[in-house]
Structure 1
Amino acid sequence: MDYQRVEGDREFVARLEHGRDWREQIEAFADAEGIDAAFFFGLGAVQDATVFFYDQEVQEYYPVEFDEPFEVTTALGNISHLEGDRFAHTHVTLSHEDGTVVGGHLDSATTFAGELYVREFDTQLEREHDETTDLDLWPL
């Protein structure tokens, strides 16, 4: 395991705006606040969602699109840089009306309502390509 010790810096709570993309709002917030590395979690509801699933054998993301409302029971992620831009690496668990869930890597979702907690770290993290997994990971 590679690791790096970080200290927490600023903390934020935020309410996501209705009708805007969930992940894009986090990235815009990070840009506005100059956040280079952070951890976040949130909850709420979305009107639709596109979730990526990573096929480890083929090493490709496959999108699954949902055109229906969900409760966001958990949204977890981190903020770092990817190819020079701030990137909100976001994973979600989304609940259907009957209580069944889907989850994965959030690509996009139209926010119905959302609340977020963000804790900034005192470092900058830039994702780099990892040959073994074919993913962009932190080079710690």
Structure 2
Amino acid sequence: MGKGIPLNDQDRIPWLCKLHDILLRDVASGQCVVLACSALKKMYRDILLRGKEGAAWKCDESGKEEEPAEVRLLVVHLSGSFEVISGRLLKRKGHFMPPELLQSQFETLEPPAAPENFIQISVEKNLSEIIATIMETLEAK
């Protein structure tokens, strides 16, 4: 992306699988986890939840399958118009993603939909409103 070339599924999937493994490890150890990433497609969010093969089964040392820790995922979809987000990108200095790639991000985007567990929040809200909405949702679950 830093070279102005958009990522494709082949670029993203190994990274998403690593994030899935980190989520599994941390959830299994009893931690609550916040992961910030651009899981633009439903398939990417499914990988975060279930792993590459759609199942998160692991084998213990004896080779016996063991049930994975449950990964519950709340997707926070920060939505905004191309114009608003483009304007913000143009103000950023020294970021790895050039503003020229924004169109490819919008073209790749598959906004979350039922039955995914998600909330949608406008990026036009201020930061404290966004945080409050997220916290209220988490407390209600």
Q: TM-score range by the shorter chain?
A: under 0.3
Q: Which has the larger radius of gyration?
A: 2
- Larger helix fraction of residues: 2
Instruction: Report the TM-score, using the length of structure 1 for normalisation.
Output: 0.27
More strand by share: 1
